[in-house]
Structure 1
Amino acid sequence: MKNAVFVAGAAAAFLIVAPGAALAATSTTPAKPAEPTTTAPEYPDGPMTRVTRQLTVAPAKAKPGTHVTLDFHCQTRGPDENVTVRSAALAFGKPGNWGDGTVKDVKPGKYTVTLHCGPETSTASLEVLAAKKPGPKQVVKVPSGAPQTGGTDGPADGSGAPLAAAAAMGALALGGSGLVLARRARRR
């Protein structure tokens, strides 16, 4: 029993002392932020930004088959520096004509469009929307006959309708009168 009390007391003392010791061991001075590093390419004639207007795609959301316009400006240092645009979602009419593209028939989602201007790049995003698939053809049944077209079996000008209504009301009145006379006869 004494051993259990001793172990419980030692555990309680550890729980009380341990957090204070941990806090005392931590530094209270804030960490110095890391120095930003740049890895700009070194050019023999000095620094130069080749992409002078970042790449944009308009419209930014399009369905397959839609024509999109790419806007950018790239300044190269010579004919050996190639300018290309690459994307899994775009097709270009002619190589080197990077201002216009057509959205390919690809899965809907976001795709990256990358401009390569010599050693520099610029990227834009293109969201391909789902193509509206044509639904099944609707079969149209042409109505035929009187009930489907709204026609009647009588005259088309409606001249027989008032006469038929008057005959029906007369028969109803005659039947009601007969019913009243039959009830009176039973009461007597």
Structure 2
Amino acid sequence: MRNRSALIGAALAVGAAGALLAPTAMATTDTTTPTTTTTPAGLGWINVAPTSGRPGAAVVVDLSCPAQGFNNDALDVNAKGVHQGDKWRYHAKVKDVKAGAYKVTAYCPSPKSPSGSIPVTTEFTVLVKVPVPPPTKPQVPTKPVGAPQTGGGFTATDLVG
């Protein structure tokens, strides 16, 4: 009976610790779920996946329309998009900018707009750039050249006799 009580108590303690640690673990997890932002008139949308990245990282920008241009400080977007079903896909790289949240705006064609296009906007978070470690020095400063010199092998015949 005592062993059973101890086992139940241990199980409750582990469960309580898990309940306390789970929110902390979830708070530090980086999400890569794209954020969709729609224009007020519902004429277009933009997705950036992942929603955050370090300078030099590759991201994908999906639009509901062929972009007439992009305006942002965080992403270097390739101007050639690929039509994929109900969306247009553009590849981009994160620029080497200061860490923080940046707006990403694309312009969709719209005959109803006086300017001929409507903006669709979302946010992208640039993460802190990871420093590149300095190159390591080789163990041997001068590399050997040629085959290893191991001798003639004459002693092997002396052992057989």
Q: What band does the TM-score fall into relative to the shorter chain?
A: 0.3 to 0.5
Q: Name the one with the larger helix percent.
A: 1
Q: Name the one with the larger strand percent.
A: 2
Task: Give the TM-score, by structure 1 length.
Answer: 0.39
If asked which structure has higher relative contact order (CA below 8 Å, sep 6+), I would say 2
